[in-house]
Amino acid sequence: MIKTFSTQIKPSVKAILGGTFNPPHKGHIGAALKAADEIGINLVHLMPCKLAPHKSVGVSETHRVKMIELCAQNNDRLIPELIELTLPSPSYTVKTLRALKEKSDDTICFFIGADSLYNLDKWYEWENLLDYCHLVVMRRDDEQFSPPPAVQAWLDCHVTNDKNVIHVKPAGHVVLTNTPLYSVSSTEIRDVLANAKSAVKAGTPNSSSVSSSNLWLEESVLNYINEHQLYKS
């Protein structure tokens, strides 16, 4: 008699880094990949958020998506996740997470920086976020971690030191990682690109100086920006 066994496919763990990605740069992507390493996840999904028209900085969704796709082409650990751009306005993270859970049974790890955590109590339905995901907070090693009282009280109920929890439970926990976050922003990079008299060169980041912002972009992304004259005054 031949025995048969039923097998159940275990949902995968999906790491998501949301952001404007205007433009996407090595600072926040590199930090997310380091955090993913720390919690045992290989792939990171880059999810561009929907921007209000007055915040578009003259760059369309099409350009932002293309730049994310170029980043993914250069790194097989990166995958574009475009669901938020398809959802009706207004855009809220909790609604996006809910839509992601409706789309698949994947366990979601939503990555945010410590600065975003400090403002979490101002997010729409922020106390419901963990119904749909684990929250992975990226902190600098040398950062003084000091959330406001309301967020700290919420953290005390949900934070865990067991990073394996994301692989065994579907949602509900906050994991703190020590990540080399870099002191560079998309705003600073846009300023440099807007004021550049000629095309800047891409390379490997070796400085946190704003004057070295051109080094924070993938070469293909920089070429795309120059080709389409994005961010020029």
> Does 23 fall in a domain?
yes
* Cut 0.95: pTM above it: no
Domain span at residue 30 reads: 13-182
Q: What is the CATH number of the domain that holds 42?
A: 3.40.50.620
pLDDT of residue 194: 84
Please indicate, yes or no, if residue 131 is contained in any of the structural domains.
yes
Q: State how far the Cα of 228 lies from the Cα of 224, in Å rounded to an integer.
A: 6
Could you report how far apart the first and last alpha carbons of the chain are, in Å? 76
Within a domain: residue 111? yes
Answer yes or no: is 227 within a domain.
no
pLDDT at 19: 93
Residue 223 located in a structural domain: no
- In b/e form, how buried is each residue of 8-25, taking b as 16+ CB within 10 angstroms? eeeeebbbbbbbbbbbbb
Amino acid identity at 9: I
Alpha-carbon span 162 to 28, nearest angstrom = 24
DSSP 49: P
The tens digit of pLDDT for each residue in 200-211 reads 444 444 444 334
Residue 8 DSSP SS3: coil
Domain count, the chain: 1
Q: Is there a contact between 16 and 47 (Cβ–Cβ < 8 Å)?
A: yes
CB atoms within 10 A of CB 36: 22
Per residue in 77-120, pLDDT (tens digit) is 999 999 999 999 888 999 999 999 999 999 999 999 998 999 99
Pick 207 or 132 by higher pLDDT: 132
Res. 214 pLDDT band, cuts 50 70 90: low
Residue 130: closest CA among 107, 153, 147, 150: 107
Query: For 21-36, what is each residue's pLDDT tens digit?
Result: 999 998 889 999 999 9
Asked whether residue 44 is assigned to any structural domain, the reply reads: yes
Q: List the helix and strand counts (H, then E) for the chain.
A: 9, 7
Tell whether 84 is covered by a domain.
yes
Does 210 fall in a domain?
Answer: no
